[in-house]
Amino acid sequence: MSFAARSVIGKLAICCALLCPSIAFADDCSAAKSMVAEMRRDLPRLADMSTQVIGVGVDCTTRTFFYEKMILFDPAYLEPGWQGRQQARFTALHCNHQGLASANKWNVSETVYDLYGAEVITLTVSPGDCR
């Protein structure tokens, strides 16, 4: 596995932590909409050497915060089983004591694309996933 491929696995979760601060979104969704509008002004944005954040959004009807990323290398370099490991990291990130799913009761979705726009993986977590 290349250096870029190894580093992206750990850094996707770190990137999410930087993009999704734990804030108490108002029930009317105005705080979430404001945060998304502010974040969009800085996009696209490099999260690290191998990942670019290309989109963020919020769906107030389903209480879902979502974001999109692009990996800047060929996903064929990722080791088998990386999807399960990445989903576990994503769930742990959003189900911690400050997580969007656990503390704020929001669903979170992350879709990752390759350089050509093909979907590589979609990660999701909901409050019910937090133990």
Tell me the per-residue pLDDT of 58-102, one tens digit each, with 9 for 90 and over: 999 999 999 999 999 999 999 999 999 999 999 999 999 888 899
pLDDT in tens, 2-54: 444 444 444 444 445 445 554 555 456 888 888 889 989 999 999 889 999 99
d(CA 5, CA 42): 25
Distances from the Cα of 82 to the Cα of 1, 87, 94, 120, 121, angstroms: 11, 9, 18, 11, 10
Pick the CATH number of 3-129 from 3.40.50.720, 3.30.300.250, 3.40.640.10, 3.10.129.10: 3.30.300.250
d(CA 116, CA 79): 20
pTM metric for this prediction: 0.78
Residue 131: the pLDDT is: 83
